[in-house]
Every structure is written in C-alpha cells, then in structure tokens.
Amino acid sequence: MPRARHLPQFLLAVMFLLLTGCLTVEESMKFDKHGICIVTWRYTLPESWVPTAEVFARQLSQAVQPAVGLPEEQNVKAFFADHPELELRQFRRQVKDGNLEIEIIALARKPLDAFEAGLFPGLTLQRDELGDLTLRGNPLESLRPLTSAETERFSTVLKDASLTFSLQTPTEILEGNGKREAFNQSSWTWRLEPQQGEFSLLNPPAKPLTAKW
C-alpha cells in the first residue's frame, strides 16, 4: 500500500474541521539554503466549539481508520515516530483569549523524501534537470467530497473559516500563482467567498497552488 495512504490523521482531523466554519488554519513551509524545510501548522477555534468540533471531526473523518478528533500530544508524537522523514520540533496546545490554539512545528531534512512518502496530502514537490524545485497541488485534496446537504449546510456556516498556505524559499520564486509577499515569499488563501486571487473552500480548483524556485 502506498505510504501516501497513511496520511497524518491528526492533520486530516483539523482539515475536516475547517468545514465547520469555526476554524482558522495556517500552514507554512520555509525552505532554507541547505535544503531543509521547516513546516508549521497552526489552528485556532473558539474554546466553546471544542466538544462539538471533536464529534464533528470524527464523523467527517470516519473514512479514516480510526476516526480522529483534534490533535493531542500523544497521537501527534505517535505519527512522527512512525514517519522519520519528519521530525517533530514542537507541539503546543493551549487556550488563549477564549480560543483553543494548536501549533505543530516539524523539520524535513530531506523534503523530497517527505513529499514522496505522502506526508503532505494533496501536494507534490519535484526537482527538474536544472535543479529547480516546483511545488504544486491542493491542500484540501484529502477532504472527502461533500454531499449536497453538507454543501448547503456549510454554505451558511463557513463565513469565518479560512485556510492560508505560506511558502518561503531560499532563492527567488521564478514562477507561481500565489500572492507575492516578497521576492521569495508567496501565500495562498481559501475562503467561502474568496476575494481576488483567493480560492473557494467548497469548490477549489483541482491544482490551485503552484510555485517554482
């Protein structure tokens, strides 16, 4: 069975929660000049939503065995122990200003191996004959298709949900469709009602994200 099927379940859970409308997801990748990639995931949701979110995540992730809820230190550490392509550097889960905040920071010493192992669902990283790297894909690809009833429901509760993916590279980004923050930084955002340059949470394009450096 391909490694890509062994998706990081704690990440899938919070991605499912994105569709509850109560969640802000931030994912970033920072590639340095030595070829190392630092990956950060941040999730924020109202503390009052946590019990409901736990149940909802398990329902939406029922296709994943076992179904999972919000990230806990135990299952996060277990995942990284099983996937040496990524090193867990920090896990933080705290309540602040009425919100539950979860932060996971990991290190990929050989990013190409980590992508090949399927540890970043929906994303691919490839090196061409000139040595340039190209990142492309859809971070939401792991979500199962929504039923018509779910689509209708989520259309009314997604107004505050968002996913932002940020990329920083050691050299200039040569090509890409993200919002250029600097010569070597780009970002992509998904919302229910996307603004110019953003993508739809419910109907994202198949491969919306692309960057080459």
Q: What is the pLDDT of residues 70-93, one digit of tens each?
A: 778 888 888 888 889 999 999 999
State the average pLDDT over residues 12-38.
77
3 pLDDT tier (thresholds 50, 70, 90):
very low
Helix axes 50-60, 9-18, angle to 10 degrees: 110
pLDDT at position 1, please?
32
Provide the mean pLDDT of the chain: 80
pLDDT at position 202, please?
72
* Neighbour count for residue 198 (Cβ, 10 Å): 18
Q: What is the pLDDT of residues 160-192, one digit of tens each?
A: 778 899 999 999 999 999 999 999 999 999 887
